[in-house]
Amino acid sequence: MSTAPIQFHGATVVAKANVYFDGGVVSHTVLLPGEVKKTLGLIRPGTYYFTTGAPERMEIIAGDCIVKLDGTANDVTYASGTHFDVPGKSGFHITVKAGLCEYICSFLS
């Protein structure tokens, strides 16, 4: 079972959406006490490539996806209740085959 929170208390949500790949991926920024920043998002079917500045943790909260981290040989499937970590100054391909994949991205600086 996922340890991802179902709500964030004391949060500020940035109303303007972060829209990538013509709407294939959409997220909103959530700011929490202690200068904690997260994004909550949806990924539509397709394959997308993202780069990172700082390390990130992607928690899958609904749906599933296939991920290939830069520098790795294999694709790995992540379902609801699982997560993967992405090193800083790196990147990853993420594929959603059907439905929506919902995620929480935490910045691990």
Quote the pTM value.
Answer: 0.91
pLDDT at 2: 57
Distance CA 29, CA 1 (A): 24
Residues in the chain: 109
pLDDT digits (tens, 9 = 90+) for 60-104: 999 999 999 999 999 999 999 999 999 999 999 999 999 999 999
Paired tokens of 66: 């296939």
Q: Categorise residue 60: left if φ over 0, alpha if ψ from -120 to 50, beta otherwise.
A: beta
Is 80 exceeded by the pLDDT of residue 54?
A: yes
Kindly state the average pLDDT of the residues 21-45: 96
Class of domain 12-107: mainly beta
**CA dihedral sign of residues 38, 99, 2, 70:** negative
Q: Could you tell me if 62 and 44 are in contact, meaning their C-beta atoms sit under 8 angstroms apart?
A: no
Phi-psi region of 37 (alpha: psi -120 to 50; beta: other; left: phi over 0): beta
Domain ranges for the chain: 12-107
The C-alpha atoms of residue 52 and residue 50 are separated, in whole angstroms, by: 7
65, β-bridge pairs: 78
